[in-house]
Copies of this chain bind each other. A is one copy, B any other.
Amino acid sequence: MENRLVRKLESHVRLSAEDVRRLHGLGRQKVRRLRPREDIIREGERPDHAYLVLQGWACRYKVLEDGRRQIIAFLLPGDISDLDIFLPHEMDHSVAAITPIICSEIAREALDGIAGHPRLVEALGRDRLVEAAIQREWTVNLGQRTAIERVGHLLCELFIRLRTIGLSQGNRCEMPLTQTEIADATGLTPVHINRTLRQLRARNLIALHDKELAIPDLEQLKRVSQFNGNYLHLEQAGTPVDGGG
């Protein structure tokens, strides 16, 4: 659903019908499907396409020589992997599917059509700002927060990002990550994630089973996790409505 992208961008800038049409065009490029754990791009490659995630979750990651792995970012539906193909360069990290993925390979030429549309340029620019802000916030998360705060913070972020693109239902959302993946994203071990999740559950801050997350009291989870959502630069126009889907 390329309208996840539309929805995300509209949280920054109001788009015209023409803009929206053009964005839909991005989702109708060469479509690729990947299975969980499959790499979309590998470190060292020189991609000449950007990738728009249509369905499913992916992640950026890096692996150290001895096998330690860090997940650097999560890509949700509507996220675009590598808009910088205008500047050919080697990937310094890899991108892999977490769930089954449907994505659209966006050629350089397809992006040229956007350059003449200031609103779209602005919207994509703002999206990039948010992406950078998220990366900075992860730096803070890994550097300063305790295990509970880290996991709570990550879940807050993911929930709010999903809500923004209409993929939440009330206080619940999909959560396809394994504990090992949460561990790789938070710089903790799977064993410790398991115990941390147990604590969060015991304190009634989250309910998480069968790949589904419920947050009984988001404000409380934010408080416990020292979560301040300003970095997501969302309009303060109140809580978005459910997406029903």
* A interface with B by C-beta (< 8 Å): 60, 62, 64-66, 68-70, 72-73, 84, 86-87, 89-90, 92-93, 122, 125-126, 129, 132-133, 135-140, 142-145, 184-187, 226, 230-231, 233
Would B233 and A125 count as touching, CB distance under 8 A?
no
Would B231 and A126 count as touching, CB distance under 8 A?
no
B-side contacts of A230, CB under 8 Å: 90, 92
User: How many copies of this chain?
Assistant: 2
Closest 4 pairs (CB-CB, A-B): A143-B187, A142-B142, A92-B231, A70-B140
Would B233 and A70 count as touching, CB distance under 8 A?
no
Shortest A185–chain B CB gap in Å is: 8
Alpha-carbon distance between A129 and B226 when the two chains are bound, in angstroms: 29
Asked, given contacts A62-B136, A64-B144, whether A125 binds B92 with beta carbons under 8 Å apart, the answer is no
B-side contacts of A186, CB under 8 Å: 143
Would A132 and B132 count as touching, CB distance under 8 A?
yes
Shortest A135–chain B CB gap in Å is: 5
Asked, given contacts A62-B136, A136-B92, whether A125 binds B72 with beta carbons under 8 Å apart, the answer is no
Would B60 and A136 count as touching, CB distance under 8 A?
yes
Alpha-carbon distance between A62 and B135 when the two chains are bound, in angstroms: 13
